[in-house]
A = this chain, B = another copy of it.
Amino acid sequence: MKNYTKLVNQINRKKTFLCIGLDTDRKKMPEFLLKKEYPIFEFNKQIIDATHDLVIAYKPNIAFYESEGVEGWKSLQKTVEYLKSNYPEILIIADAKRGDIGNTSNMYAKAFFENMNFDAITVAPYMGEDSISPFLAFENKWVILLALTSNKGAFDFQLFENINSERLFEHVLSKSKTWADKNKMMYVVGATKAEMLKEIRAIIPDHFILVPGVGAQGGNLQEVAKYGMNSNCGLIVNSSRGIIYASIKEDFPEKARLKAKEIQIEMKELLNNNSVL
């Protein structure tokens, strides 16, 4: 089955388009976990077991694992293995923002797609097509290209405008959509720029859009759905801190589930209202 169809099926079955960001930080987790051999993995495992039926994707933020060195890297591998063994239908996104010359991008693709079996990776567009194509060369994997990000700095370069009033992020979208179709490529558009999803949908009506920034970063789910949802949903909305750190006590999995459930209920309604379900 095609990548795209698998994702749409998951949305229809679970009635959600939530992704939980595993920005797992040793300093923010309940103390009792620190006694375990792999506290970061243990935290992730408990979050996953408590929320897997409410999400279509998990998104480990690679920086958080790299900042823990070898142990972080092991915890990342164990998290991916655990997901693949127990919840194989769930999309696993490496939030890595990589991108380099061809032979180097190929090494990153091997690291995340082959050695670790991630399904998708976020990639930065600055270095152009030959920095992206090595990721696209892997079968049944996704490239998620940065278009318009959720942070303040997005305004520094992404809105840089040419003589035809085309902005850089629009140029990235229109150029890159010829490199791969909706089965291989998605885009990052921050929830903090929800109203701009309307113009973006005019360029890429069918592609999935990964939307970070709901919750801690201030984005609004209703707005995102209003401007960004298409007939197959076409959205993966990420929340990290608001869910995984809902409690810092032993009840953190239950509290995370409550937060995720709240969002899933809102999402189900949005899917119904927009006739996706």
Interface residues, chain A, with chain B CB atoms under 8 Å away? 23, 61, 63-64, 66-67, 69-70, 73-74, 77, 95, 97-105, 107-108, 110-111, 115-116, 124-132, 146, 149-158, 160-163, 168, 171-172, 175, 217
Contact = CB atoms under 8 A, between A and B. Distances in A.
Given A97-B100, A149-B127, A151-B101, A111 B157 contact: no
A68 to B, nearest CB: 8
Nearest to A97: B100
B108 A66 contact: yes
Contacts of A64: 104, 107
Given A130-B152, A156-B129, A160-B171, A115 B69 contact: yes
Nearest to A129: B153
Contact of A162 (B95, B101, B110, B162): B162
B126 A146 contact: yes
Given A125-B126, A129-B153, 4 more contacts: A66-B108, A67-B107, A126-B158, A156-B175
A128 B153 contact: yes
Identical copies in the complex: 2
B110 A130 contact: no
Contacts of A130: 151-153
A137 to B, nearest CB: 15
Contacts of A116: 69
A168 B163 contact: no
B156 A69 contact: no
A128 B151 contact: yes
A61 B105 CA distance: 11
A154 B168 contact: no
B128 A126 contact: no
25 contacts: A63-B98, A63-B105, A63-B107, A63-B111, A64-B104, A64-B107, A66-B107, A67-B107, A69-B116, A95-B100, A97-B99, A99-B124, A101-B217, A124-B127, A126-B149, A127-B146, A127-B149, A128-B156, A131-B151, A156-B175, A157-B168, A157-B171, A160-B162, A160-B168, A168-B168
A101 B23 CA distance: 12
Nearest to A101: B151
Most buried by B among A73, A126, A158, A160: A126
A172 B108 CA distance: 25
